[in-house]
Amino acid sequence: MAHRPQRLPVYREAANQIIERIKRGDLQPGDHAPSARQLVETTGMSSATAARVLGVLRDEGWVDTIPGRGSIVRTQAPLTQGANRIGMVRQGGSGLLDGETVEFVEARTESAAQEVSDALGIDVGADVVLRRRRYVDSAGVSVVSTTWVTADLAERLPAFTEPEKLPKMTMGYIEDQTGRKATQQRETHSVGAAPEDVAPQLGVEAGERVLKVTNRYLDQDGEPTEYAVDWHAPGRSLVAEGPVA
């Protein structure tokens, strides 16, 4: 017997319809989303179901409910990770979203902290070179990203410390300069305290708890090529959709 896909619950179908209106631009940031009362009047659903519709929209970051104003369509501020940017580059893109820019912050040599030494397989205190930049979109600064490479590798990457944007990001630049192609990555998500040297660039107070995403890349021989830490600004949404395995 052929499997018949189950119909979505009424509240989910209604929420999806509103989300599609937002994606199409029929509802713009700052517009009012349908209220619970309007949903009841136009669809005949119960007030409890209408409340669940608005709950979905809030939970998934599509609207903010403001006392006295109702549910307002939120300006979408997506969170873009290093792995996403690498995929964009490998498909011939720039690694940036539409309307997004990248700003060089600094490059310097420093002594490897424990976290960096573990990731790059070197001794604590060994020289490493970092490159820091921040990504900015229509909603403001989204990410402050720092990449570390060993001092030996940095000698083969003259543009790594220059303020100009690397044409294929660090990963592509390393591959072009050395033939070392990133083939594996380990990505870790956690909530951490924004460091003092990152917080001003991110627009938060030092120590404020924000999303921290780390990426460790290995080449075709299983050797580390780079270690990156992305600190994400508050108010961003990371949404992943797909079939359940």
Residues 179-232 pLDDT 10s = 999 888 888 989 999 999 999 999 999 999 999 999 999 999 999 999 999 999
Report the pLDDT value the prediction gives residue 1, as an integer from 0 to 100.
45
Residue 174 pLDDT greater than 60, yes or no: yes
DSSP string, the chain: -PPPPPPPPHHHHHHHHHHHHHHHTSS-TTSBPPPHHHHHHHH---HHHHHHHHHHHHHTTSEEEETTTEEEEPPP-B---HHHHHHHHHTTS-S--TT-EEEEEEEEEEEPPHHHHHHHT--TT-EEEEEEEEEEETTEEEEEEEEEEEHHHHTT-GGGGSSSPPTTHHHHHHHHHH-----EEEEEEEEEEPPTTTHHHHTS-TT-EEEEEEEEEE-TTS-EEEEEEEEEPTT-B--------
pLDDT (mean) for 59-88:
72
Report the pLDDT value the prediction gives residue 7, as an integer from 0 to 100.
72
Q: Which of 187, 239, 237 is nearest to 213 (CA)?
A: 187
Report the pLDDT value the prediction gives residue 25, as an integer from 0 to 100.
84
pLDDT (mean) for 105-133:
95
**What are the phi and psi torsion angles at 216 (to 5°)?**
-115, 125
Query: Average pLDDT of the chain?
Result: 86
Residue 79 pLDDT greater than 60, yes or no: no
- Whether the full predicted model's pTM is greater than 0.85, yes or no, is no
pLDDT in tens, 5-22: 557 788 888 998 998 898
Q: Which of 40-54, 93-107, 222-236 has the lowest mean pLDDT?
A: 93-107
> Percentage of the chain surpassing pLDDT 90?
51
Contact present, 231 and 202 (Cβ < 8 Å): yes
With vertex at residue 215, the alpha carbon angle to CA 209 and CA 217, rounded to the nearest 5 degrees, is 165
**What are the phi and psi torsion angles at 45 (to 5°)?**
-70, 165
Band (133; pLDDT cuts 50, 70, 90)? very high
Cross-strand pairs, 227? 148, 216
Q: Which of 163, 179, 165 is nearest to 225 (CA)?
A: 179
115 CB-near residues (< 8 Å, 6+ apart): none
Spatial separation of the C-alpha atoms in residues 147 and 102, rounded to whole Å:
14
155 CB-near residues (< 8 Å, 6+ apart): none
Measured in residues, the chain has a length of: 245
